[in-house]
Amino acid sequence: MGVNYFTLEYAIKEHDFIIEESGGAQGINAIGLLESILDHIQYDLYYPEFEDKITHLVFSVNKNHAFSDGNKRSSIALGAYLLEINGLEYCIDKFIIEMENISVQIADNKIGKDLLHKIIYSIVNENEFSEQLKLEIIEAIA
């Protein structure tokens, strides 16, 4: 099964909608950064599994500040959309709820890409976080 992706235009449109609905500064700081993120997740050599792709998407949109404002919100929305267009609707609500807390910790450099990958893998593949993962998250944000 191939992975479905979305366009740069969709990502910009989604970001603009988020800003209109919840406030913040309009605009793009670096379209090339956003373009690069969306291109890279399509390279199976770098990101062979779906969880690798969505982790890179969420982490990079959050951290690279391609948008003037709303990068954390956009990272969540674009991650949720990637789940949706790939038939993973069952975990979208959980993803959004967990990422609302996790995205702040990513921006504050408390949760890195490896731990984010474990979190996203758990959201997609498990009913709940393991005790080990819960401890890793607590340790990271403490």
How many Cβ atoms from other residues are within 10 Å of residue 132's Cβ?
Answer: 9
pLDDT tens digits for range 16-60? 999 999 999 888 989 999 999 999 999 999 999 999 999 999 999
Q: List the alpha helices (DSSP H) in 42-130.
A: 50-64, 71-85, 92-107, 113-125
Average pLDDT over residues 99-118: 97
pLDDT band at 84 (very low <50, low <70, confident <90, very high): very high
Angle value at C-alpha 41, between 99 and 103, nearest 5 degrees: 15
The structural domains of the chain, ordered by start, are 8-141 (1.20.120.1870)
Query: Given this model, what pLDDT does residue 1 score?
Result: 62
Residue 67 three-state SS:
strand
Model pLDDT, residue 122: 98
pLDDT at 71: 94
pTM for this prediction = 0.95
Gap between the Cα atoms of 43 and 53, Å rounded: 9
Q: How buried is residue 107: exposed, middle or buried, by Cβ count under 10 Å (0-12/13-18/19+)?
A: middle
